[in-house]
Structure 1
Amino acid sequence: MTQFFIRFHTCIEVIELADSNILSIPSLPPPYYLESGSTLYAAGDQHPNRRNLGVYDLILVRSGCLYLGEEEEQWELHAGDLVILLPDAYHYAVQACREETYFYWLHFQAAADSPTHSGSISHSIFLPKLAHVPYPDQAYQLFESLHLLATEPRSIALWREQSLFIELMQLLDQSRAGQEQSRARKVAEQIESFIKMHYREPISNGRLSESLHFHYNYLTRCMKESHGVTPSEYLLQYRLDQAKRLLLTTRWPVSRIAEHVGFQYPPYFTRRFSARFGISPLQYRKQYTE
């Protein structure tokens, strides 16, 4: 089965690769669970046609065969096959079921960027739009556990539902697939850890290369593949994110915050902060503290 991927990131775009399409959508706030259930179709039944549902519709077939389409794409989904239908697309039944078919469904959303999170560093989540689940029994059990929560008090079920949904996302996450991609991600995570430990200090390309024992060009390639930014861009983003936190949680003057997060010159810090978030540090503090 050809695989396609949905990518959760900080902007909306479609990236075409050799053998997959990646849909990039906001991941902050992260995708969240809405509802789920299961459906049993007899031979002759078919999935309803719907347009602009407004939520992601994840469908996992457990037995039988489901014939679905989305816009120009059409699929035959057998046991263990999964598809994620998009919120703003047209979904339809290609034909009626030829045999008894049982499938799970789950609705979830991925909220758009909010002013508080806009421009912040985000980890990417890659979900298969169409795939055969590698461990279907584990996925089936997660759905069954979600079903059992329907009888629990809402105050209890709410958090457990989100927890199970996260487990499902982790099961489906394709971001570590492939040996080279996994190696690149591991190197990128080393860079990320180093920056988080030393961001208050001067970090040059040479220091990063010497500390991690890789040529800087290779470090840059790993970060671009994994995080979409260079090490220098990540360092800047991380420093600015730390500055945002300090603006809200301390009464330190801007000059002290700039120095604390690694900027030698406060005017340069103010210029970079304003360019990234569209507002000056003082305006940001005033917006959220008064």
Structure 2
Amino acid sequence: MVFARYLTPAAECGGLGLQCLGVGWQQVSRIQFDGRVIDCYGLMMIVRGTGWFVWGDLPRQRVPVQAPALFVVFPGVYHAYQPDAGGWSERWVLFNGPSAHTHEVLGTLDRDAPVMVLQGPLDGMERVFESLFEAADSSSPHRDVVTSSLVHRLLAELLAVKATTDVARVVRHFDEQATGPLSIGEHARRLGMDTPTLRREMFRATGTTPKDYILRTRLSMAQRLLLTTDRTVAEIARCVGYSDAAYFTRLFSRRVGQAPSHFRKVGRPRGRDG
């Protein structure tokens, strides 16, 4: 089943900040889509299924999409997408207006990371889409105003979901990768962010820097291993990401307040990171 409505707002509606140009939903089977460039913004919310999304200049980035997720297309930027063999179910809206640029500044719409895995509650976005479908399908003389206000609401809901999702994603990534050899820049690239954005998101989530969060995570793991295993200090150092056992011992002693061997005997920290 397919629902699609395309709108041509009156020129006076430009002062509303955002104009809804079209909205719809559909269940899409696997298709051959060679890509395109459009002159407006588009937001596609994938509620079921998997596929991929490609965007930007050569060499183009191809990113897997797995529901629940969304991707944003930007005016003047090449994009292509395709569901996998099982297809996907999508909600979509096309819009334009000066407020869209404001949402780029706020980070709601990110040209460098247009694909977002959704992990927050999505009821709000789903309700706004349902209202958009109803408003766009009506013959109300105020349809352009109503759909414009609903696009504003949709982007506000997205900003809230994005904040929750980004925080959870960053923390989970560092919990999983803290013992690895990646630099902060490499962590940022894997998360689809630049380094300043990563530092900002980590501070918002944990109140500390990525480097310090890695250190705290490693030391917490080391404390647990010291208390629950018979591994040597050198073995534990390697497990938590330090090839130099002497350096690990000095770092542990300074941050935890006890040497690893003494911590194992006493079983409790005295320092600020226990």
Judging by fraction of residues, say which structure has more helix: 2
Computing the radius of gyration over CA atoms, which structure comes out larger, 1 or 2? 2
Give the alignment's TM-score, normalised by structure 1: 0.36
Give the alignment's TM-score, normalised by structure 2: 0.38
